[in-house]
Structure 1
């Protein structure tokens, strides 16, 4: 461990007082109905950084009621796309203005590096601007080919009240992949951020109010999945649920929502492979693999947590990956030089380590890391960069989402074998291929069972391109025009022209 790159405690100051987070309901900031609160400890510094209201069913009911009334009143759903776009652009500007404040709270609550948090907030404001552009493009279709007696219209209308449930790993970015698109469509929303990262969503609520969003259009309830998320999922006044998180919770949401048959959109887990062929640009591939597995400490649904390397280059590739991994700065997330910060909770750190220990006991070869990491001056939880070779595809570490800075290495001989390994998974979020042969890349892209395929790159994203998974990685899409479509319903209007309709029953003469 001594030859790892470790960043000790920085000189950056932590705010003296915790951030105070409350519910936003009907345009007002409220304490919980029963007065309960909870605290969030920084996973990197061990101090209380947020004190938040703990929501219950009464708070959720009030928030849903506010969203329902706002939607039905039409103060948002029936105004022009141009007006909705203007509000969204104001929010984007306010996000840019407060980027450092938002990033600091995200770092303190999540443990991610401050430089990464700032980049995420910048990306989030771009999503708000893109959603604003879509607000002005919502349109249906007309059918003038139904004969001289008919004209058909297809209207696109907002789905209604949307429950938005977001995770702790990218709290501000992911709410910005959902909320502005829902608002662009004309929906109203109730949002529940993770109880581990409530502050930045609360700040977003402040910015929505400052921008002039009408009361009740955006509501926030803080607290735990049970009872807050459960109520948001089952209430009949809610028309749609959009959730990002674990596959297990996603399945429970589908089950809970079935009672009212509301629409559900899910972005869930992944066990994302990168396949490296012998003709790959090895230097670029190694760098992308290291980025893909350590980005956000591996606590990322798109983490490139398993690589499938051609056996002819496997040992050399692993050696280069280990060497570069030693140079990645792990440590205090408040230091701008840090690239990998803290693990979200002690319980999650233990889960990561259990996967690694079990793999080693099953015969896998730990080439680097494999345990907790001590950072001088900090009282938090950190995990070493870990590379595990000689992994069998049947082992849990090759099939299940570890959600930590742990890389599993498998090997292949032919493209058919590589694609079989890629698709031999319950997940299907993303996949990558490294080859200088365009035919290899295209064949891989067509055959890989994944919502996103990267060729000779990893985890590049654009607001214009849809994001989501297949199989147990979810249903529905975010971003792009497809992300807007999730929040719209199609309505058919059939119009008869003139008095041409023949009577079904001929009246009898009296």
Structure 2
């Protein structure tokens, strides 16, 4: 279903939504294109005239109502994520909690949008800076976190006083529909939040080229992000983008090995490795590499692959056939280049299901000739490289293009601080495989994106500063 100007809309064109664990159709949803996107933008522009002038307390109340509705439906939301995305139900449940957390956080932040009083150089002047909402925002969200990526964008936008047109990923639109059902029941004014499902090129082109859209926020591939930036240039829109990642995971000889091994399980195999900050390259000090590899392989081989709705499953399916083939190709290339598969390495077949499963995989003796060294994997494959010196691993860890997240394990405080500074990434976890939290900035450097989401930093992305000088004589 489409949601435009406060009303649900059906259409003749439909999109089949598949369960990646079974390969079967879950349901069909209505889709729109350029005309519906134009209508959604027009309704958002009209609503902004009023919504942008509401008090922070009023906006906070609407977000709080949505929070309560999401909490009441948390089980249904988690099941929806698992059905259309494939991730195990416990992981989906944590995503729901995180998604609600963004609404809760920004419901409070809506009341704390402050300005500044500046010291004047002329005694007859009063100088101020006020912060105002950007205007109509177009949000494009990915499939790997189909609920939390929506709330991480929409919550700060609404809190700031912006109106929104959302285009969710085609493969996971059901989570978006569930969120908008909560908006509708919370009584959010017509046009403040709009949902358009349909062809990415057609909808995205209208969003980037329509002058009434003043901001684009996007999470997805670097290739698509670059195109959106180019297409937005003619109307000079404000942009925030969280793009591709290729996270290094550095384990020094003084690290707590068991903790570092368990950290890989969190950073690499959550959501079958389909996360933007997922570990892609594991650099282990040569002196402990064999011990680390053996322990990691033992832990990974014990992971249970299957339908995310079944109890005890740790790793669900990949999102589609193309993703499965990409992972298989990278593993085959790694073996040709001298890598040794310690566990996994193959497409996984379940008797009951015909979905897109790949065995959780550990590859020892990885090297820089492998495609996996430079190309984002987005799958459950952990390649292990070795290094000898701190200077060497810093140079190898810093990717030429990507700069989203990096991890480092060491007991040496000084080394940890040096690595914090030396790693060219927007997010660094020192002995922490899960650094992302609602109150902290999330985003990358280099070709991993621009702008930040989360905390007060995410709110600032939806605000503009207006300088006011008052001559009092």
TM range (shorter): over 0.9
Question: Which residue number in structure 1 is paired with residue 388 of structure 2?
Answer: 413
Q: Does 1:57 align with 2:37?
A: no
**Contact 2:143–2:171 (8 Å) recurs in 1:** yes
Query: Is the Cα–Cα contact under 8 Å of residues 144 and 150 in structure 1 kept in the other structure?
Result: no
**Any idea what SS the aligned residue of 2:120 has?**
coil
Q: How far 1:224 moved relative to its partner?
A: 2.2
In the alignment, what sits opposite 1:338? Answer: 313
Q: What is the correspondence of 1:410-449 to structure 2 with a 5 Å cutoff?
A: 410-449=385-424
Q: Secondary structure at the match of 2:166?
A: strand
Three-state SS of the structure 1 residue aligned to 2:151 is helix
What is the CA-CA distance between 1:219 and the residue it aligns to?
0.0
The match for 1:36 among 10, 13, 32 is 13
Contact persistence 2:219–2:243 (CA under 8 A) = yes
**Deviation by residue 1:121-169 (Cα, 9 ceiling, x = unmatched):** 0111111010111101001111133331111110100000000000000
What are the superposed Cα offsets for residues 357-403 of structure 1, whole Å, 9 maximum, x if unpaired? 12222222222211101122112110001111222224320111010
Q: 1:374 aligns with which of 323, 326, 349?
A: 349
Whether the 8 Å contact between 1:273 and 1:306 is mirrored in structure 2 is yes
SS of alignment partner, residue 478 of structure 1: coil
Q: What is the aligned partner in structure 2 of residue 26 from structure 1?
A: 5
Alignment of 1:270-349 (within 5 A): 270-349=245-324
> Per the alignment, in what secondary structure is the counterpart of residue 427 of structure 1?
coil
Aligned pairs for 1:13-412 within 5 A: 22-32=1-11, 35-72=12-49, 74=50, 76-412=51-387
| Matches of 1:226 and 1:54, distance apart in 2 | 13
Tell me, in whole angstroms, the C-alpha distance in 2 between the residues paired with 1:236 and 1:395.
44
CA distance in structure 1 between the aligned counterparts of 2:462 and 2:434, rounded to whole angstroms: 25
What is the number of equivalent residue pairs in this alignment?
Answer: 473
How far apart, CA to CA, are the structure 1 residues paired with 2:430 and 2:417?
Answer: 9
Asked if 2 retains the 8 angstrom alpha-carbon contact of 1:467 and 1:478, the reply is yes
Q: Which moved more, 1:472-481 or 1:417-426?
A: 417-426
State which of 433, 452, 469 in structure 1 corresponds to 2:444. 469
1:309-343 deviations in Å (ceiling 9; x for gaps): 10000111111110000111211110131111011
Q: Is the 8 A contact 2:440 2:455 kept in 1?
A: yes
Distance in 2 (CA, whole Å) between partners of 1:85 and 1:480 is: 15
Name the residue aligned to 1:486: 461
Please say if residues 44 and 381 of structure 1, whose CA atoms lie closer than 8 Å, have aligned partners that are also in contact.
yes
Task: Identify which range, 481-490 or 225-234, moves more after superposition.
Answer: 225-234
What displacement does 1:172 show?
0.2
Distance 1:146 1:390 in 2: 65
Aligned counterparts of 1:143 and 1:227: Cα–Cα separation in 2: 45
Structure 1: gaps (5+ residues): 1-21, 499-510
| Over 3 Å off, 4+ runs | none
Larger-Rg structure: 1
State the TM-score, normalizing by the size of structure 1.
0.91
Moved more, 47-56 or 133-142: 47-56
- Say if 1:146 and 1:152, in contact at 8 Å, map to a contact too: no
